[in-house]
Amino acid sequence: MLLLVGYVIVLLSSIGTYAVHGSLGALWVPLEYIAIFGLTIGYLVASNSPRSLRKRGTTASKAI
């Protein structure tokens, strides 16, 4: 299930990036950061088990 969710996140992030292709909006740097972040999170969700994601979440919350 998380594999599908991860792939949907990746797909929406990449389609959202290409939606502004061909205009000056594509050069807007924060939009690229959003795309990179979305693609990274999507691949992270798709490539890890739920247990591993929970462990990463608790470790990250302790670090913050």
pLDDT tens-digit map of 16-62: 777 766 565 655 677 778 878 888 888 888 889 999 989 988 888 88
Q: What is the pTM of this model?
A: 0.55
**Residue 46, domain member (yes or no):** yes
Residue 24 lies in a domain: yes
Segments forming the whole domain that contains residue 39: 2-57
In angstroms, what is the C-alpha Rg of the chain? 14
**pLDDT, position 32:** 76
Helix, strand, or coil (residue 1): coil
- Domain-embedded: residue 33: yes
Given a cut of 60, whether residue 5 has pLDDT beyond it is yes
**Domain membership flag for residue 16:** yes
Q: How many domains does the chain have?
A: 1
Comparing CA positions, the residue from 57, 33, 60, 62 lying closest to residue 45 is: 57
